[in-house]
Amino acid sequence: MWKKILKLQSIDSKRTAICQALQQCRSQTLALFSDIDDQTFRQQAHPDFSPVGWHLGHLAFTEAYWILERFAGKQTLFPEYQKLFAADGLPKESRQNLPTIDTIQDYLQTVRKQILAYLEVAPLEKEERFWRWLIQHESQHSETISFVLELHRFHLTANQASFSFPNSLSPVKKIAPKTVFNREMIAIPAGDFLMGSNAIEAQDNERPTYTVYLDKYWLDPYPVTYGEYRQFIKAGGYQKAEFWSEKGWKWLQENPVAQPLYWREETIWDNHPVCGVSYYEAEAYANFVGKRLPTEAEWEKAASWNPITKQKSAYPWGNEEPTAKFSNHNNLFGQTTPVNQYPAGKSSLGCYDLLGNVWEWTATWFTGYQGFQSYPYRGYSQVYFDGEHRVLKGGSWATRPWGLRNSFRNWYHPHVRQILAGFRCARSN
């Protein structure tokens, strides 16, 4: 009898935790729209990304489809939105003809009220993994909203010599720059480590865990900064083919640029991680300094493995959940911070800033681990196992805590610059 009581208590505590996370995540999503104008709400900032308003409607659509229709067996709510807000319903450029923000928020509230009612009786023994996925689904769309808004701000200031935030987000007011730190590379000892995650919240592409052996290698203790990347620009790095791969140089000739997308000219940014670089730009810089980009396994080992205890941690600092003590995430500042701002967040091997601030490109193509099983549908990960997407690790300043962990995998085409991405370098000897 007591085992049954404990099980019921455990289910109830999970139900409460999921409800709280859903509400916290939604509150943070809606906060991004607190002072948005109608044009920004419905207009594309870039052809590859949907308007921010579309993402709100898509969140409601996804919750209604999976929870209310598939799990609870209810009829379709708001059938007029089925094509507009489905991920495969309309091309991105056709998603700009949106209802008003008030109408979409009513849609969100109506759906959310019903799914919270269902959560009170949901069989979590069977459905917990999906509810954890749903929270992360909103987290990922919330981050996309953040960087699309970043693109809108960038376009507004495109006529300036360099992109800068409004005074309300100025790093001068918010963040004290830290100027002295050790750039000596960290030696990562040879040996096995456990890669991936089997935790209930792990996405399908993080599963299953498996053992990887790596020879000794070295990794930068911090992401590459604006100050360091400036040397590449001054040396004519964008004009010299010898630093670029064949595909990278071809991309550069077809897309002539001379600096990262979100370039900062002011020296106060020098200790912030460079942001808005493509994989090709990151690769070229690594060649310029005689290094290379790390593989995904090298990045994850440096972030998660303690060679003394032979234990894997969920986060670089251990297993305590992410907070403002450990990293710059969850829109804490709405921008990057200096790469050595969070000493409490360094890994057991001595690397800083592995989670949050900027995503980091790796040299690994995105594919499934051996034993991969798609969840909750093939289109979430498996359709991107096409040999055309590189893995990014670590999260950004806009990543919600539910999607922030060492094993989490992001993926994009190597030419993409709009995401909040930077990198750090590695070498083999």
Neighbours of 325 (CB within 10 A): 10
* Cis previous bond, 221, omega within 30: no
Residue entry with tokens 């200096």: 338
State which amino acid sits at residue 1: M
- Cβ within 8 Å of residue 26, ≥6 positions away: 108, 112, 138
- 155-181: b (≥16 Cβ within 10 Å) or e: eeeeeeeebbbeeeeebeeebeeeeee
Contact by Cβ (8 Å): 183, 221: yes
Neighbours of 296 (CB within 10 A): 20
> So what's the pLDDT on residue 180?
54
Residues of the chain with pLDDT under 70: 1-9, 157-181
> So what's the pLDDT on residue 9?
58
- 108-129: b (≥16 Cβ within 10 Å) or e: beebbebbeeebeebebeebbb
> So what's the pLDDT on residue 181?
67
Burial class of residue 310 in the structure, from the number of CB atoms within 10 Å of its CB (0-12 exposed, 13-18 middle, 19+ buried): exposed
State which amino acid sits at residue 222: Y
Three-class DSSP category at 304: helix
Handedness of CA 36, 40, 46, 47 (dihedral sign): positive
